[in-house]
């Protein structure tokens, strides 16, 4: 089997890395000889971070994807004599053409209000569609589709995808509203990530395990996305998070693990990079000696290991929330999209979602006190529910296998027919 993957990355967002790492692990377990081509938006960083012998990182940075790869795929379809040249100058096109399936791991696509990303959403899957390589959209948030442009593009392209895995009930209802018949209810692939002994060792190097002794640590994952949204409203996001952390340390008497869940080595790059905002927050807290922070680019498993050692967690990054829930840590979510609530619904924790734009220090303090009081019951509920969600997330690997094998079957049938005619 040969699999191409797009929309995720080893670097940047640790959630995207978790989806990619878990995909590689479980696909390799399912098909030991699987050949994986990772079409990366950060090809240099991802090549440096890739430790898998059966994974090749190729350049699908936004401009190359939009122009060279999409243009090459269209030319491949329309002018077969040019295919040799295309393979030479845009090898990514040949790799997609040779793949049995393309996995689109964009975490949130075709959503009203995010029209600026629609070009990338389409560009990620269009080469495969032109090359007749079946596409599986791994569990992600989609919709709503009320906006004219988003609805039009969704109705054109989503029916052409071999399979779409919805990440929750809200997304599923949005997709059903389009009349799609290629949708399966699922759960986020990051729930299938396993924490290895190597991850545990890396976690211990980043934050000494003694910091978590006593079970009094609250994890807090800020978000550059929320900082940008707050700035547009004229609000000071850094000051707001500082007030939250000061409440945790000075009023509740807790230690805090400050989590940058999206990291990039270049401090000037703010997209998918929470390191700058975390550093500013740390510089202004009342008791920095009570706050642990690492700016290392940890593996998704190492970061999940550290999150799992927390007593409580505050998440403003989606996959930081997934990791805390996967480790059965009682979690308060300060989010901005239906994608948070629908996952909390899956584990019976929707009451712990707050709209980030509406949070005050008073409401934050009240919900944290309630979360702390209910933590034993929440952990028990998560311990019961998370294995079910993980099992649901694992089912999409069966979908991927069936789609890939169906494509292989079709190609072999076509090849036999061509041989017979010859």
The DSSP annotation for 87-146 comes to HHH-HHHHHHHH-SEEEE--SEES-TT-GGGHHHHHHHHHHHHHTT--EEEEEEEE----
pLDDT at 407: 64
Helices (H) then strands (E): counts for the chain: 18, 16
Residue 415 has pLDDT above 50, yes or no: no
Q: How confident is the model at residue 11 (pLDDT cuts 50, 70, 90)?
A: confident
Q: Is 256 in contact with 364 (CB distance < 8 Å)? A: no
**3-class SS of residue 383:** helix
**Average pLDDT rounded to a whole number, residues 87-114:** 96
If one compares 414 and 388, the residue with the highest pLDDT of the two is 388
* Alpha-carbon span 188 to 173, nearest angstrom: 16
What confidence tens digit (pLDDT) does each residue in 373-399 have?
Answer: 999 999 999 999 999 999 999 999 999
pLDDT for 120-177, tens place per residue?
999 999 999 999 999 999 999 999 999 999 999 999 999 999 999 999 899 999 999 9
Q: Cα torsion for 150, 153, 155, 159, to the nearest 10°?
A: -130
Q: How confident is the model at residue 418 (pLDDT cuts 50, 70, 90)?
A: very low
What would the pLDDT profile of 173-223 be if each residue is shown by its tens digit? 999 999 999 999 999 999 999 999 999 999 999 999 999 999 999 999 999
Closest listed residue to residue 303, CA positions, set 199, 197, 194: 199
| Helix axes of 300-308 and 14-30: crossing angle, nearest 10 degrees | 110
Torsion of CA 302, 304, 310, 316, to 10 degrees: 130
Determine contact, residues 154/144, Cβ cutoff 8 Å. no
pLDDT of residue 336: 74
Say whether 312 sits in a helix, a strand or coil: strand
Structure tokens at 269: 């790059």
Cα distances (Å, whole numbers) of residue 330 to 135, 307, 334: 36, 11, 13
Residue 411: pLDDT band by 50, 70, 90 thresholds? very low
* Residue 341 pLDDT level (bands cut at 50, 70, 90): confident
Average pLDDT over the chain reads 92
Geometric angle at alpha carbon 224, from 223 and 226, rounded to 5° = 65
Q: Environment class of residue 150 by beta-carbon count within 10 Å: exposed (0-12), middle (13-18) or buried (19+)?
A: buried
- Write the pLDDT tens digit of every residue in 33-82: 999 999 999 999 999 999 999 999 999 999 999 999 999 999 999 999 99
pLDDT in the model for residue 412: 33
**Residue 297's pLDDT is what?**
82
């Amino acid at each position: 089997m040969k699999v191409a993957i797009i929309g995720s990355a080893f670097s940047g967002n640790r959630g995207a890395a978790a989806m990619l790492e878990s995909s590689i692990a479980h696909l390799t377990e399912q098909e030991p000889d699987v050949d994986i081509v990772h079409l990366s938006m950060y090809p240099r960083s991802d090549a440096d971070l890739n430790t898998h012998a059966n994974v090749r990182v190729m350049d699908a940075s936004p401009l190359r994807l939009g122009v060279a790869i999409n243009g090459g795929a269209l030319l491949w379809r329309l002018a077969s004599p040019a295919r040799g040249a295309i393979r030479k100058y845009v090898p990514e096109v040949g790799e997609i053409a040779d793949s049995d399936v393309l996995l689109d791991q964009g975490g949130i696509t075709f959503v009203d209000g995010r029209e600026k990303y629609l070009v990338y959403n389409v560009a990620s899957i269009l080469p495969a569609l032109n090359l007749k390589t079946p596409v599986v959209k791994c569990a992600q948030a989609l919709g709503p589709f009320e906006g004219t442009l988003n609805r039009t593009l969704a109705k054109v392209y989503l029916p052409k995808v071999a399979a779409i895995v919805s990440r929750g009930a809200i997304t599923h209802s949005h997709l059903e509203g389009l009349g799609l018949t290629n949708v399966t209810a699922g759960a986020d692939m990051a729930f299938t990530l396993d924490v290895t002994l190597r991850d545990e060792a890396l976690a211990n190097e980043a934050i000494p395990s003694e910091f978590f002794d006593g079970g009094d640590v609250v994890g807090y994952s800020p978000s550059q996305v929320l900082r940008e949204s707050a700035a547009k409203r004229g609000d000071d996001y850094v000051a707001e998070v500082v007030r939250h952390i000061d409440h945790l340390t000075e009023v509740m008497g807790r230690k805090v693990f400050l989590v940058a869940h999206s990291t990039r080595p270049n401090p000037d790059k703010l997209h998918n990079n929470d390191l700058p905002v975390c550093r500013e927050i740390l510089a202004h807290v009342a008791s920095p000696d009570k706050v642990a922070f690492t700016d290392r680019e940890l593996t998704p498993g190492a970061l999940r290991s550290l999150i799992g050692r927390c007593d409580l967690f505050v998440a403003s990054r989606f996959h930081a929330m997934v990791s805390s829930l996967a480790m059965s840590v009682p979690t308060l979510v300060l989010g901005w999209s239906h994608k948070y609530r629908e996952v909390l619904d899956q584990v019976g924790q929707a009451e712990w979602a707050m709209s980030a734009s509406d949070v005050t220090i008073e409401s934050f303090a009240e919900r944290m006190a309630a979360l702390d009081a209910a933590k034993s019951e929440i952990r028990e509920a998560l311990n019961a529910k998370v294995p079910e969600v993980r099992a649901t997330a694992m089912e999409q690997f069966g979908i991927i296998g069936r789609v890939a094998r169906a494509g292989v079957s079709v190609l072999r049938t076509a090849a036999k027919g061509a041989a017979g005619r010859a």
